[in-house]
Amino acid sequence: MPIRSANGNYRALSLSSFFVLLVFALGSCQNNKEANESADQTAQDTAATFQNPLDVEFGDPYILDDGSGTYYMYGTGGGAVDGFSVYSSKDLVNWNYENQVYHGNTADSWNESAFWAPECYFFDGKYYLFYSANWKHNPTNEGENFHIGVAVADDPKGPFEDLQNKPLFEPGYPIIDANVFRDDDGKFYLYYSRACYKHPVESEVADWAKAEGLFDEIEESWVYGVELSPDFKSVIGEPVLLLRPPVKMDDANAEWESRSVTSGEVNRRWTEGSFTFKHQGTYYMMYSANFYAGENYAVGYSTATAPLGPYTKADNNPVLQKNVAEGGEVTGTGHNSVLFLEDQGKMYSVYHGRTQSTGEERVVFIDEMTIDANGKLEVAGPTTSPQPMIITDSK
């Protein structure tokens, strides 16, 4: 076989040289093929997984699934000024900022500040945004004057306008963290948290803190429930106390729910950020405890046989908490909501937390949640390692 030499003349290629070149060429092709296959596999593996936290700086995240194939996330902060913003996603991992969907603190609004914890629901063709904010009407000049508002829109991206230019109702104390549940009989229920403000409570934990010289008194927030009118403009009947921090030190939930106090962080114990749903005839109420801006913020749950209780706290609480003691980097896990993907038979806990890299900024996590045959609820988080993509066929 002739080949061309450097001086332009042709010379014969020996048979042995030819085979050497052939082997080299085949080996090079094989190496290239393996490299390409490895790159393709790496791309597939990357595409098939995601890692927490998501690229959304929200506190109190809530994801709406209205059946359109697009998911919408609402939360505290996220770039909103005196109101709330929304992000959208097809796969629950990659989120796009849309716009600010609600604007408060206007000349005509009933509210003026502290726009917190929005949750958006799709009922009968309309989108309803339940949220917390400070009421302008404050004749006694209270330091915390939180109330619950309801706004409505024709589109999940807004604009949302208040149903009425006043809070949903006046319970006589500041309230936050509205959560709505519609039962099988069509009745609606509102769950909320009474703020700690001016609510000192006697307990063995309070006695201990005073004896230790930490705090003279301990304020608490409690979760209440009440039936909600179908037009979302009022409540029906009187609110019922459903959850509160443990009174006794030997209560199974006293240790984890009191960490903000026992660590000397602050003189408050919280029961807030509740989320209620029904599973196989049992009502589950998830809730958060401890200081929302601290590392001990964590999630527990309770169960009942009726929407307004009585609720019994689980003995495997907390089901979601910081993981730094196990070598992780996540703290401040809390104020979760639950996303149900019925076509997959799965449910996910959506919550905020902090990492070493995000610092004090709250960011969104989403981890799978399960309930076993005995009714035991568990959250497989917080995770920061690669997890299987939640939705793989989004378009």
Separation CA 360–CA 293 (nearest Å): 8
Q: Are the CB atoms for 64 and 121 separated by under 8 Å?
A: yes
Give the single-character DSSP code of 306.
Answer: S
Nearest to 50 by CA among 355, 380, 349, 392: 392
Q: Are the CB atoms for 220 and 271 separated by under 8 Å?
A: yes
Please list the active-site residues: 60, 272
- Other residues' Cβ atoms within 10 Å of the Cβ of residue 170: 11
Which DSSP string corresponds to 262-300? HTTS-SEE--EEEEEEEETTEEEEEEEES-TTSTT-EEE
| Burial category of 22 from C-beta neighbours within 10 Å (exposed 0-12, middle 13-18, buried 19 and up) | exposed
Q: Are the CB atoms for 115 and 84 separated by under 8 Å?
A: yes
Q: Is the dihedral of CA 354, 355, 357, 359 positive or negative?
A: positive
Q: Are the CB atoms for 383 and 374 separated by under 8 Å?
A: no
Separation CA 60–CA 75 (nearest Å): 5
Nearest to 353 by CA among 389, 313, 325, 384: 384
